[in-house]
Amino acid sequence: MAAYSRAQLLLLLSSVCLCGFGSVHGLKAASGPAELHNPLVLRPADPPAKDAPAAAAAGASQPRRATGWKLSEEEACREDLTRLCPKHTWTNNLAVLECLQDRKEEIDIAPDCNHLLWNYKLNLTTDPKFESVAMEICKSTITEDIHSQGEVIACLEKALVREVEQQDRAHPIKEECQKAILRVAELSSDDFHLDRHLYFSCRDDRERFCQNIQAGEGKVYKCLFNHKFEEAMSEKCRDALTTRQKLISQDYRVSYSLAKACKLDLRKQRCSLDTSLPRAREARLSYLLLCLEAAVHRGHPVSGECQGEMLDYRRMLMEDFSLSPEIVLHCRTEIEAQCSGLHRKGRTLHCLMRIGRSDRSNAIDSVCQNALQTLIQSADPGGDYRIDRALNEACESVIQTACKHIRNGDPMILSCLMEHLYTEKMVEDCEHRLLELQYFISRDWKLDPILYKKCQADAARLCHTHGWNETNEVMPPGAVFSCLYRHAYRTEEQGRRLSRDCKVEVQRILHQRALDVKLDPELQKRCMTDLGKWCSEKTDAGQELECLQDHLEDLVSGCKDVVGNLTELESEDIQIDALLIRACEPVIQAHCHDVADNQIDTGDLMECLVQNKHQKEMNDKCAVGVTHFQLIQMKDFRFSYKFKMACKEDVLRLCPNIKKKVDVVICLSTTVRNDTLQEAREQRVSLKCRKQLRVEELEMSEDIRLEPELYEPWNAECCCLKEQKKQLSQRCHQRIFRLQEVEMSDPELDYQLMRVCKQMIKRFCTEADARNVLQCLKQNKNSELMDPKCKQMITKRQITQNTDYRLNPVLRKACRADIPKFCQSILNKASEDGELEGQVIACLKLKYADQRLSSDCEDQIRVILQESALDYRLDRQLQMHCSEEISRLCAEEAAAQEQTGQVEECLKVNLLKIRQEACKKEVLNMLKESKADIFVDPVLHTACALDLKHHCAAITPGRGRQMSCLMEALQDKRVRLQPECKKRLQDRIDMWSYAAKVAPAEGFSDLAVQVMTSPSKNYILFMIALSVCVLFLVGLLCGRITKRVTRELKDR
């Protein structure tokens, strides 16, 4: 068998290579073959097993035939020769041998002829001239074992591989000899025994890994290939297998199983008929794979057996970078510098991929990058993740947990892995391998088989693409996909839209690419400089795109356009931002599932997320992401899809040359307000735009950051809050006051109030007008059904309203005549955009005690008095002047969770202990107000509730009538009041007496009353009379002060 193998393997080398090197060594083959213009594939011609031993013996003992002997003259083969081979080949023994060798697979040859051919091939190998053929290339090997033709073949094969990789230029091999070497490798492709070098190198490994594999049809080769990177595999065998694989990559026919399985498919798909290509290229493994993969992608039938073989060899290319001559040739520098030592299981290729997707623009040479792209197209790992062994091993656990519902080997596995990128199920090693592969897949849309299948017709129609394995050097990476997604979001009016299936796939890819800016070739290319300048520290998932959006105004023109277009797409389909959607999954499932289930998103999902931004299901990541997108939308009105579509024509007509959304909203809002105030016959802003404009105003009211006019100039003032207005600059204070004035006049714009009191509004104020919602809530504030959080929010708004009457639209309208009449002096001192700190309301309360207000104004002040009597915080003047005294004297009462008037009661009881005159004056005013009616004094009202019911039920509340009724009952000895009521009422009388004594007189009438009620009134009256008398006497005694004049002067 060994002799037979030598005969078969050295047949062409002994003929062609002698011619190739004859001129160098002065050799001339006596029976060299005629030049073969159209060489055919030579297949191994195995002799029958039963004849093999005898044939071997015969071949060994048979004398060498004469030089002029012809195979065609032999009786054994004459009939087969006449039947199968052209006449012009009969005179050339090698031509006859080649003809019969090719035909043997299809048609039986007579046994005698087969035996004759086998003996002839054996005799050729005994020619001593063969050693001189390879002497120059394989000198050392031949010197060691001059009779080992197996080593000579191995040496020539390695020389061929080195030449292809341009590692050995000193001893070039002629083309004819190269073909002969590949023919010899092809002849040994069915049985590994025929490759003597590989056989002796891998004998032990064959026993270790492939003991049960029967030799023949290349099965042992495949088994050894599959175990090539096992730890137990010997290095000598691994090197021999690698050489064999390199030869297969040069000529697919060196693989018996691949050539046999795909023979018919190659014919059907016309993969061997392109005469414009050189024969060497047509025979390359990569060409075969690309041609047959293109047929599969076009939907043409390719046998399952052939596809199985293709899968094996695609995996082989991805496992070992050295099998791709272009990678070895063009990426040698990168491999030696950064990937040394990583030579197994595809780790070198992934190392090169990692370098290729690095942030440095010159990290990898462009030629190496193109070689990587070509290799990945040939291997096509996007069609089956198992082709990429490094990815398969790294992601096995993720696939078993997150993608177990998908059939093994399905192209959707990669999509599933991308969907779980940056999730808890993803492991770090899988994440790196996945992104490295997706970086190259994203640069050629054809490498995503599902996208190509659904969109190939659209791409040909809209983007003028070529076939799957045809390339267009003019079209940059990612250009086809950019073309597809531009057409994906066109309206019907714009025409030339994508098919529904293609659009779904384009959206899927966009969702995946949003996870990493490097997966978007156009974005990475145009924004590389800006990423380094502005976003070098933003390395977490999704941060780079957010950073570019934050610095949109600072980006260079090309990058700005790409980021703007991507942001505009996000506004229409927020699911492109996959990280945000993941973070918001609980909110979407709870409140937005109907919108999220729609295949076509037109901004509804983001609007739903904004509306539910403060629901309990909302987490911090989702809230931050939604707010960030809202802030980005403020940079350009085009980034709000619904607003853009509703108001596009209005903006072009009424607000041209305005780009920022906040400016557009102000422009349109001003137009609407002016038309309303001027009672225009027709609104200039369309109805659909007005509706969406209202939505935008509500969103902007939610967060001060959405008001750049308020936020940006003072972003250093973190205390720019409504509750901390005193700490703000004057200008910011003015803006906040204007904002509050708008919110109080239209509570729907008060986002916090509407959010916190949403349920209470539904319960109590369903029939109330939108502008009267706060008034309705205040009326129901003390209801038992009122939510505590809403009640607290209402109290905050009441406190704000009581700081300035202008923040209380109802009071302002009711007292529009009373305020100028009684409080003009306060108005004269007021600034336009500053609070009056409750001075006007305090003025009106005093006039209420004097019963001098109009009925409408009196009703509103009564409500304010009643509410502030229960909560001292609603009395701005009292809170402002008595804060220190409250902390010193009434800290426990002030700390109570529910205010019931205890702080006011404490101040009244401790009136004599109050040190600050301003505070004492406010407490005295409070006592004076309490005389107006009992409801102003909640402590007294609670203590006397039963007595009011029994003794004063018929008395109408107001103007102090019920208080007078109780005081009369106290004086009437026939009436017995409740002890607590009697005690509280007596305390009030004493307080009023004291207040009357210490209260300053506001006029002559008050002064006269104080003098007449003073215990020292006689002394005061005596001193006044004495002063008058003294003045009279001084006038009598001192005479006149003026100079006397004559009557004439007086009469003139």
> Given a cut of 80, is residue 704 above it in pLDDT?
no
> Given a cut of 50, is residue 763 above it in pLDDT?
yes
Q: Which of 265-274, 588-597, 705-714 has the lowest mean pLDDT?
A: 705-714
Task: Kindly tell me the burial class for residue 999, based on how many C-beta atoms sit within 10 Å of its own C-beta (0-12, 13-18, 19 or more).
Answer: middle
Contact 701, 751 (CB under 8 A): yes
Q: Which of 150-154, 522-526, 837-841 has the lowest mean pLDDT?
A: 150-154
Q: What is the pLDDT confidence band of residue 493, given thresholds at 50, 70 and 90? A: low
Q: What is the pLDDT confidence band of residue 154, given thresholds at 50, 70 and 90? A: confident
Q: Which residue has the higher pLDDT, 324 or 711?
A: 324
Per-residue pLDDT, 343: 67
Instruction: Give 910-958 pLDDT, tens digit per residue.
Output: 888 888 989 988 888 888 887 777 878 888 888 898 988 888 888 887 7
Percent of the residues in the chain that have a pLDDT greater than 70, as a whole number: 80
Average pLDDT over residues 127-145: 49
Retrieve residue 126's tokens. 């005994």
Q: What is the pLDDT confidence band of residue 180, given thresholds at 50, 70 and 90? A: confident
Q: Which of 600-609, 785-794, 959-968, 1013-1022 has the highest mean pLDDT?
A: 785-794
1004-1013 and 1017-1038 are packed helices; what angle lies between their axes, rounded to 10 degrees?
Answer: 120
Q: What is the pLDDT confidence band of residue 92, given thresholds at 50, 70 and 90? A: confident
Average pLDDT over residues 255-273: 86
CA distances from 965 to 931, 934, 960, 961 (A): 12, 10, 9, 6
Q: Which of 118-122, 254-258, 578-582 has the lowest mean pLDDT?
A: 118-122
Instruction: Give 411-458 pLDDT, tens digit per residue.
Output: 899 999 998 988 889 999 999 999 999 999 988 888 898 999 899 888
- Coil, helix or strand for 867? helix
Per-residue pLDDT, 47: 41
Instruction: Give 729-749 pLDDT, tens digit per residue.
Output: 677 777 777 778 777 877 887
Retrieve residue 721's tokens. 């809050």
Count of beta carbons in the 10 Å neighbourhood of residue 870: 20
Average pLDDT over residues 723-727: 63
Mean pLDDT of the residues in the chain? 79
Average pLDDT over residues 822-833: 81
Per-residue pLDDT, 416: 93
Q: What is the pLDDT confidence band of residue 9, given thresholds at 50, 70 and 90? A: very low
Per-residue pLDDT, 846: 85
Per-residue pLDDT, 427: 93
Q: Which residue has the higher pLDDT, 143 or 789?
A: 789
Count of beta carbons in the 10 Å neighbourhood of residue 547: 17
The domain spans of the chain are: 188-261, 278-380, 385-441, 752-801, 873-928, 934-1000, 1015-1052
> Given a cut of 60, is residue 274 above it in pLDDT?
no
> Given a cut of 50, is residue 54 above it in pLDDT?
no
Average pLDDT over residues 644-670: 89
pTM of the predicted model, to two decimals?
A: 0.63
φ and ψ of 971, to 5 deg: -75, -25
Rounded CA-CA distance 986/994 in Å is 12
Q: Read off the amino acid at residue 458.
A: D
Per-residue pLDDT, 603: 82
Contact 482, 522 (CB under 8 A): yes
> Given a cut of 50, is residue 396 above it in pLDDT?
yes
Per-residue pLDDT, 115: 81
**Helix residue ranges, H only, 535-655:** 543-550, 557-572, 578-583, 585-591, 593-596, 604-611, 620-633, 641-654
Average pLDDT over residues 1010-1024: 74
- Coil, helix or strand for 460? helix
Q: Read off the amino acid at residue 217.
A: E
Q: Read off the amino acid at residue 945.
A: A
Q: What is the pLDDT confidence band of residue 686, given thresholds at 50, 70 and 90? A: very high
Per-residue pLDDT, 58: 39
Instruction: Give 368-392 pLDDT, tens digit per residue.
Output: 988 999 899 889 999 899 999 899 9
Rounded CA-CA distance 705/627 in Å is 9
Q: What is the 3-state secondary structure (H, E, C) of 935-949?
A: HHCHHHHHHCHHHHH
Average pLDDT over residues 492-521: 83
Per-residue pLDDT, 1008: 73
Q: What is the pLDDT confidence band of residue 1015, given thresholds at 50, 70 and 90? A: low
Retrieve residue 137's tokens. 């290339």
Per-residue pLDDT, 713: 46
